[in-house]
Structure 1
Amino acid sequence: MTAKIAQLHPERPDVRLYEQIALSLKNEGVVVYPTDSSYALGCCAFASTAGRRIAQIRGENFQSQRLTLICPNLSKLSEYANYDKNTYRLLRQCTPGPYTFIMSISRSLPRRLADRRKHIGLRIPDDPVVQGILEHLEEPLLSATLIFPEDDAPCGDPSEFPKSLSRQVDWIIDAGVRSRGETTIIDCTGNTPHIVRQGLGSDPFASN
């Protein structure tokens, strides 16, 4: 298997390519795609085996892997997480953007993902390519940051992808150079949301 390469311009969407990528995702495909922080590995959240492929690429165990769902908007995000009004206001303030929210899972989360997990990461990236994928997929993406064992930062430049990657995934979406940054992680599982990792997203509590 050799990955197909898709060059997608953020402001000039190619509907045909988006449709092909979405079809691949619906059929257990794994893609490398850009976000508003760095590049990431993604599959359909409802795929039965693709999530394990992502864990294998990253050298992790699927059952212990930290999972992140990529959603197009708050309406879709609310289907998979439980949160209160204060957290909702925080979500409205920070999304879309380079934030990951750790939240308590809802019963709508697929059992395969919820198994032995109480919490999950959720994101709404501010990136037109991601939004295009989600629009055609009509489901969330299960996602993990693209970072290689020899690196200490995520990959943001497609020219730096190792050749071996093209044998491990179905599509590589080249949307140009992105940052090598990480998202700001906010834990929303307790009474008071708090930052557990400061990344590209500014501190939403700084002015409070």
Structure 2
Amino acid sequence: MLLKLYPDNPNHREFRQIVDILKDGGIIIYPTDTVYAIGCDITNNKAIQRIAKLKGTTTEKSNFSLICSSLSNLAEYARVDNTTFKMMKKNLPGAFTFILPASSSVPKLFKSKKKTVGIRVPNHYIPLRIVEELGNPIMTTSINDPDEVIEYTTDPELIQEKYSKYVDLVIDGGFGNNTASTIIDCTNDSFEIIRPGIGELIH
């Protein structure tokens, strides 16, 4: 199913429909401030496993991130010191994935021995509103295109054609970017950029 959302007039009923799909164990594809991404409710392990299978990996080996609507519940999922928290606050919402030491709840969510977790607070109303309506983060991973020239598919109608058999909903929020988020490793004393992307870090 393809659902078109308009930024100037988002409909509350449509967001309830998206949340119902997620709560029912569904997988969605949605726009972010970078590329289109695949996501599910982090409390639904079957949905997480479905995404891992779709990406050709397992929950044990995967590097999925969490999309949060703010940093207010960060301590539930990650351990973060004051310096890192202040730096994240300066840069979020924005096109970043921050890799942090995982809290004890993360291995239970992913049924794995994960010691780190990626945290995203994208500067895009659709994922932020979904997370707010859902009441907890969504697990996220970007859509990679097997074509090495076009690393990410940007057209939601082409995404729908390609993924309609595998996901329950594609949200059309207009054309996406084809550059992903900047990934920053915050697990050591310094902040190391391990993948440059759209986001330019403010220290």
Are residue 26 (structure 1) and residue 23 (structure 2) matched? yes
Aligned to 1:73: 70
Contact kept? 1:11, 1:128, Cα under 8 Å: no
- Residue identity matched to 1:183: S
Are residue 125 (structure 1) and residue 119 (structure 2) matched? no
- Residue identity matched to 1:26: K
Are residue 140 (structure 1) and residue 143 (structure 2) matched? no
- Give the TM-score normalised by the residue count of structure 1: 0.92
| Distance across 2 between alignment mates of 1:110 and 1:13 | 35
Task: State the 1:68 CA deviation.
Answer: 0.2
Aligned to 2:178: 180
* Post-superposition CA distance 1:110-156 (Å, at most 9, x none): 60426211001110001011111112111100010011223452222
Residue correspondence of structure 1 range 1-208 to structure 2 within 5 A: 4-109=1-106, 111-113=108-110, 115-151=112-148, 152-161=150-159, 163-205=161-203
| Distance across 2 between alignment mates of 1:203 and 1:80 | 22
Contact kept? 1:105, 1:114, Cα under 8 Å: no
- Residue identity matched to 1:103: L
> What SS does the corresponding residue of 1:32 show, helix, strand or coil?
strand
| Distance across 2 between alignment mates of 1:139 and 1:162 | 26
- Residue identity matched to 1:165: Y
Task: Extract structure 1 runs of 4+ deviating beyond 4 A.
Answer: none
Which range moved further: 172-181 or 144-153?
A: 144-153
- Give the TM-score normalised by the residue count of structure 2: 0.94
| Distance across 2 between alignment mates of 1:174 and 1:180 | 15
- Residue identity matched to 1:93: K
Contact kept? 1:34, 1:174, Cα under 8 Å: yes
Aligned-pair Cα RMSD in Å: 1.5
Q: Number of residues paired by the alignment?
A: 202
% identity of equivalent residues: 34
Contact kept? 2:97, 2:181, Cα under 8 Å: yes
- Residue identity matched to 2:74: L
| Distance across 1 between alignment mates of 2:147 and 2:74 | 33
| Distance across 1 between alignment mates of 2:111 and 2:55 | 20
Which range moved further: 108-117 or 32-41?
A: 108-117
Which range moved further: 131-140 or 158-167?
A: 158-167
Task: State the 1:204 CA deviation.
Answer: 2.5
| Distance across 1 between alignment mates of 2:178 and 2:79 | 31
> What SS does the corresponding residue of 2:126 show, helix, strand or coil?
helix
Alpha carbons of 1:124 and 1:77: their partners in 2 closer, same or farther (altered >3 Å)? same
